[in-house]
Each structure stands twice: as structure tokens, then as C-alpha cells.
């Protein structure tokens, strides 16, 4: 998988703790949730870089309670939640989070979902980062689907 150097996702200890708590709450099933924050676009003479800053996390119930899959099948509920948080906190939906029982790389089902969300035509779901955390080791990886390609992105663990 190709690595995208022009996108960095910043996540602080508070958000990481919330992700871990979400995993604990849903164990043995996969956890999922939405991460809200801000996106900074940097234009250096046409060379664009993007910094995603996580500010808020909402653990949500998967539509499919399973130790090997999660499902967010209520787009209307997701849009309503994203709109409410965005309006109340002046934040944007920047990432979908879920856990895996082992490993922090997208499964075949994850890849299909990423492509589907990216191409669905709903503005809130375009250019979302997908954060995957290994439930055991707490390893975290980030991915984005752009131009019909799945790319891994850098995760920057902010001190606080």
C-alpha cells in the first residue's frame, strides 16, 4: 500500500484514551466512532499538504455487533450527529474510527466501505480518514481513499 506523505493526522492522549475506552465498552465486539476536528490546508506554491487535528470523539454503536466487523448503516443518523457536533462545537467530521481484534490494517470489507463512503456523493463522507486500532496492542494506523486508491497516512501522537 502506498504511503501519502502530504497528509498527517494529529491525535492527542485524551482522544486516544477515549478510543481505548470505546474499545473496552464494546469488547469482545469491534468498536466504532466518529472523530471531529479541524483540517488545515497548506499551499506551498501549488504543493498542498493537509493536517487533520482531532478535537472530539464520539463512540457509537455498530449496527453489526461482531468481534470481526462493524457496520455504520444509518447514514441519516451519522449526518445528523456530524451536523450537530459540527454546529455546536465548530468542528468538522474528519475520521471514522474502528477497532480490530488483531492488527490495524484495513480488511477487504473495510476497503469496500472506504471506497463506498468516498464515492457516495455525501459531502460529509468525502476525504475522511479511517483510523483503525488494534484492540490488544493499541497500535493505530490511518488511511484515506483518494482518486480510487487507498493510501496510508502518518499519525502524529501529540503530547497533550
pLDDT digits (tens, 9 = 90+) for 44-68: 888 899 999 999 999 987 655 544 4
Q: Which pLDDT belongs to residue 66?
A: 46
Least confident span in 11-15, 86-90, 129-133: 86-90
End-to-end CA, the chain: 30
- Which cell is 86 given? 459540527
CATH number of the domain residue 66 falls in: 3.40.140.10
DSSP string, 12-41: -HHHHHHHHHHHHHHTTSPPEEEEEEEEEE
For 129, the domain range is: 2-157
User: How many domains does the chain contain in total?
Assistant: 1
DSSP state for residue 46 in the 8-state scheme? T
Burial 29-58 (b: 16+ CB within 10 A, else e): bbbbbbbbbeeeeeeeeeeeebbbbbbbbb
Q: Which pLDDT belongs to residue 75?
A: 62
DSSP string, 62-107: -SS--SS------HHHHHHHHHHHHHHHT-EEEEEEEEESS-SS--
Amino acid at each position: 500500500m502506498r504511503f501519502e506523505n502530504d497528509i498527517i493526522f494529529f491525535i492527542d492522549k485524551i482522544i486516544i484514551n477515549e478510543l481505548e475506552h470505546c474499545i473496552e465498552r464494546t469488547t469482545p465486539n469491534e468498536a466504532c466512532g466518529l472523530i471531529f476536528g479541524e483540517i488545515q490546508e497548506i499551499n506551498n506554491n501549488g504543493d498542498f499538504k493537509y493536517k487533520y487535528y482531532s478535537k472530539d470523539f464520539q463512540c457509537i454503536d455498530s449496527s453489526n455487533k461482531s468481534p470481526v466487523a462493524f457496520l455504520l448503516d444509518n447514514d441519516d443518523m451519522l449526518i445528523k450527529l456530524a451536523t450537530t457536533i459540527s454546529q455546536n462545537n465548530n468542528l468538522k467530521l474528519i475520521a471514522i474510527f474502528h477497532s480490530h481484534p488483531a492488527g490495524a490494517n484495513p480488511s477487504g470489507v473495510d476497503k469496500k466501505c472506504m471506497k463506498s463512503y468516498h464515492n457516495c456523493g455525501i459531502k460529509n463522507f468525502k476525504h475522511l480518514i479511517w483510523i483503525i486500532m488494534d484492540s490488544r496492542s493499541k497500535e493505530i494506523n490511518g488511511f484515506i481513499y483518494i482518486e480510487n486508491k487507498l493510501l496510508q497516512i502518518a499519525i502524529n501522537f501529540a503530547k497533550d
